[in-house]
Structure 1
């Protein structure tokens, strides 16, 4: 709090109180108005996002609902025809009856342009709604793959005159027939163009099977897609919003614009042909499908390009997506909804709405907020100036009086002419002046007493400080002696183990040397005889060789033990860095403690790559491993009474040496783990434990090796120590 007051005083200390009051008053008003304006705009923006998402969801839902109903109709018509066939109401061998029945169906369903049936003989019967809303019945001759005949109809659906005869037609070769037969269930055809009608269409096909499951033909009902265009145009989606439906190939199926979903190329010659996708008779010409990315409507074109850039391929859009993109520096809200069914339909419904359609009212409110904010700021400034004058005038009087009193004019009085807070302040000021006069009279006497007390206090503080320093030095000396004692005890264990270990190979070598001496004397006696038995001489020489080999092998072992002891002892007593082999150092420690572990069932496994040579303090590593292994022996395996394993792993980890030590002993409680590195903490206080082993390990790792050590354990699960420290550079 004091630092804040100092900071405030440093900034505003040289500013007059009148100016400060006005500025702070204006800042508060400006801040409040600014925050309100920002929150208003932010909430308005959020409301726009929510409204856009809600509008897109509602429009997409309406489109899906309408298309589900509209696109289900041709399949229902096919199913009703199949039911009539199975009930015997329609005879598949009677094309006249079929054509008349299909004609009546066209009168009921205005959105259906064509209904037809193709049989297994290649025959076809068609009832068609023409572009001028007249109707024709068309069939192949003899209801087989033959000439294609087109008839007019009267008002009752009866055949009239023969309009024309087209080239032979075989329904079995048409894609709608082949696909339905291959799938063996109701399917959709691909969207195709009808040049004569200048429209796109899609056909629903259903295979017909007899009682013996033999194929009898395919029923097909054809829809024109212009009805979908009309429905999309009726949807209200803002002034600049656009809706369009596309296939996964990017071709437009329908849109809410007046743009045609295809490009028309006029025919070169006036002749007719039959559409490959349907049975439609069209003038020879080309209707090229329009891709959304090539649309003349900018919003549709850039929306399609953005979808391709975002998803790579339209096939990658598997669920409903909502996001925002920019077009001409304006945000556009975009929603893409897949429309799929089990009959092969796979379209995308795209709803794109410019943000500007929603932002006009918010921008107007923002402008009004700014104008009101500026007006409020001007009024607040004027009111602040007038208020500051009324407040500051009596404060100036108090300031002048305080300055006079500070110069020793104790008879200064301030006239009280107000009853508000400033009047109370003036009365308090006058009372304070009287109290100051009384206080200064006693202040000098008290000052002398305080000086005496300060002198006594300083003497006692210096005395106590000297005593504390002596205690600290004594504690530090005791700590160093304990640490040195622990190191010497460790070295003593090392010497005892070495003496016991080296006794065996030297004893064996002495015995072998004695045998060698006796054998030598036997050989001398043999040579003193007049006749030397060759077998006895050879036997004696072989005994010499065996005794010499036994002596040499045990002396070499003794040399290795001496070398290991020398390295370990020198390293633990020296603090000089040198190059050392990590695996050799670990094995030296293991050798030095071999006497402790050899009569137990504890197995020790060392996992360290050969040739891992580092520059550093091997003595610290020796001491750490010695303490860890003795800790496992005493605590983990209860003085070697338990069976188990000790695992020592060492490897490089970047520019650090990583060492992991673990055993399968009886483990520790969580409370023991938390205190394991504390000095003088031991669970064997009455059995000779000093509580410094793990503390020494912690100090060696953190202080001498500048690394980290951690411990993990649980009762019955052993213990794991992880050590990591940086490698020195020679």
Structure 2
């Protein structure tokens, strides 16, 4: 059940909008001001620190040039006199020796609450630029005399005062933001109160008109331009509604007068339609009978195709057998004549025996091939005409079908690839399966490979969860898009008038769904050729 749209009062929307807009503007402005003040304060402290560092470095030069030990003490006293800024926490002075080493010279601490810190000699290269820490910043500058570097001066300045100022500014900003929001809330309440009274009156008037259904009533003019335009539009809508209702009443009366006449005409046409339906039912019964006859004819036609193929296939080995037997009879006559005339030679007899063995082998192979073809055809014909269940080998059934259709496959230059377990025995109806495979293969030969030099048919069979899955596909010209959705309908063919009955795939569909209780699906995403997935229940039997 769909959720109903939740409505919001104008008062709530107005208050929320003003408060949200005010909050965004004030919060954005406050954050920007605090951020700029913080950055500017940090920059000022950094500039002042660098200035102090340069001044103290310049004043430390004479002390570093002196070699007296008292210079360290004097420099420390000098630093205490010079440093007047409360932001400086620590000063370290390092001297650069002649051998390039750097040693601690003297230092300055702000007071006793600031204990001495470790030297920064190892960080001289890192602190040539100002580095910010949590509550202080650090810098090291060179102490030079002309072009000569005498040492380095480390300075640490406090950021605590800056942080205190930022915190005070933040508290002040929050208080200002809170007061501003209170003022915005009061302003939104006042705006709504001054604008809502005409709207409430307008809503009451519309409610009274809706309750009384007196759509000829007109609303009074409003003090605000937007509400006045809305009032004029509602008045126009009320006039049109009243006119529409009047027209509807007239139309209803006219409709009632026509309804009786229509019912009389409908009753007469219903009687005529009943007679027509009875005629259609009888015609439909005749069509079903005719369709069943055509399906049986299609079965016999496919059997006739197999008979023609088998006859052609059997004719070749029998012809070879007759030729070999005739040749053997001629050789036997020559040997018999030579024996009676007592001119028979051992070499002649030996040649006769060799040729006899070869001819007998030819006769045996061809007769065996003919017998195998006839046996296969008998099994296929029996299965095709029978719908009874029995246990059989699936691979053997497929091989028998391919053997009976070998002549047509060879003449059409079609190769068949079969993937099926050799020891797959099932208990099912071989007749419908036989007929399904024959119709699919003949359909591929007559339609898929029409006009092609060669083609390939692929049959993949497997048993899964008491279901036999058959995937039949070919790489032919495929099925036209216009008939894909009705490929299993009766009389659907692209060769109407050229030998196509349109019942082949309809027969396959009926055999799969009715005789075997399964289903067949055409893969419509196949890019080349066609692919059918056939599935039906079977009972797995022991091999």
- TM-score of the alignment, normalized to the shorter chain, above 0.5: yes
- 1:525 and 1:462 map into 2 onto residues whose CA distance is 93
- 1:105 and 1:625 map into 2 onto residues whose CA distance is 109
- Are residues 454 and 566 of structure 1, via their aligned partners in 2, closer, same or farther at CA, if it must alter by over 3 Å? same
> What does the per-residue CA deviation read over 1:109-139, in whole Å, with 9 as the maximum and x for residues that have no partner?
94886688797624357876636799x9xxx
- Are residues 626 and 712 of structure 1, via their aligned partners in 2, closer, same or farther at CA, if it must alter by over 3 Å? farther
Q: 1:623 aligns with which of 435, 444, 447?
A: 435
Unaligned runs of 5+ in 2: 67-74, 143-149, 175-180, 190-203, 213-259
- In the TM superposition, residue 512 of structure 1 has moved relative to its aligned partner by 4.2
2:405 is matched with which residue? 593
1:693 is matched with which residue? 504
1:286 is matched with which residue? none
1:475 is matched with which residue? 287
The answer to whether the aligner puts 1:723 opposite 2:533 as a matched pair is yes
- Are residues 223 and 566 of structure 1, via their aligned partners in 2, closer, same or farther at CA, if it must alter by over 3 Å? farther
1:435-450 superposed matches below 5 A: none
> What does the per-residue CA deviation read over 1:268-308, in whole Å, with 9 as the maximum and x for residues that have no partner?
xxxxxxxxxxxxxxxxxxxxxxxxxxxxxxxxxxxxxxxxx
- 1:726 and 1:571 map into 2 onto residues whose CA distance is 18
- 2:90 and 2:436 map into 1 onto residues whose CA distance is 92
1:121 is matched with which residue? 101
2:229 is matched with which residue? none
Q: 1:680 aligns with which of 468, 491, 500?
A: 491
2:519 is matched with which residue? 706
1:116-515 superposed matches below 5 A: 121-123=101-103, 130=110, 174=122, 176=123, 180=126, 226=160, 230=164, 233=167, 234-235=169-170, 464-513=276-325
TM-score (norm 1): 0.45
- In the TM superposition, residue 489 of structure 1 has moved relative to its aligned partner by 0.8
- For 1:550, what is the secondary structure of its paired residue? helix
> What does the per-residue CA deviation read over 1:548-604, in whole Å, with 9 as the maximum and x for residues that have no partner?
443444344334433443443333333334455444444444333322231344444
1:437 is matched with which residue? none
- Are residues 469 and 511 of structure 1, via their aligned partners in 2, closer, same or farther at CA, if it must alter by over 3 Å? same
Contact 1:669 1:713 (C-alpha < 8 Å) held by counterparts: no
Q: 1:546 aligns with which of 332, 352, 358?
A: 358
> What does the per-residue CA deviation read over 1:42-79, in whole Å, with 9 as the maximum and x for residues that have no partner?
99999999999999988888888778778889999999
My pick for the range that moved more, 575-584 or 67-76, is 67-76
- In the TM superposition, residue 679 of structure 1 has moved relative to its aligned partner by 2.4
1:17-28 superposed matches below 5 A: none
Contact 2:444 2:476 (C-alpha < 8 Å) held by counterparts: yes
Contact 1:644 1:664 (C-alpha < 8 Å) held by counterparts: yes
Between Structure 1 and Structure 2, the one with more strand by share is 1
- Are residues 495 and 50 of structure 1, via their aligned partners in 2, closer, same or farther at CA, if it must alter by over 3 Å? farther
1:557 is matched with which residue? 369
- For 2:497, what is the secondary structure of its paired residue? helix
- 1:82 and 1:534 map into 2 onto residues whose CA distance is 132
- For 2:519, what is the secondary structure of its paired residue? coil
- In the TM superposition, residue 483 of structure 1 has moved relative to its aligned partner by 1.2
- Are residues 462 and 537 of structure 1, via their aligned partners in 2, closer, same or farther at CA, if it must alter by over 3 Å? same
1:210 is matched with which residue? none
Contact 2:93 2:105 (C-alpha < 8 Å) held by counterparts: yes
Unaligned runs of 5+ in 1: 1-30, 137-149, 151-165, 192-198, 208-215, 240-356, 366-379, 391-445
- For 2:450, what is the secondary structure of its paired residue? coil
- In the TM superposition, residue 471 of structure 1 has moved relative to its aligned partner by 1.6
- Are residues 525 and 705 of structure 1, via their aligned partners in 2, closer, same or farther at CA, if it must alter by over 3 Å? farther
- For 2:489, what is the secondary structure of its paired residue? coil
- 2:54 and 2:369 map into 1 onto residues whose CA distance is 102
- For 2:494, what is the secondary structure of its paired residue? coil
The answer to whether the aligner puts 1:575 opposite 2:510 as a matched pair is no
- 1:118 and 1:650 map into 2 onto residues whose CA distance is 93
- 2:464 and 2:538 map into 1 onto residues whose CA distance is 14
Contact 2:42 2:162 (C-alpha < 8 Å) held by counterparts: no
Contact 1:205 1:219 (C-alpha < 8 Å) held by counterparts: yes
2:222 is matched with which residue? none
- Are residues 700 and 519 of structure 1, via their aligned partners in 2, closer, same or farther at CA, if it must alter by over 3 Å? same
Q: Pairwise CA RMSD of aligned residues?
A: 6.6
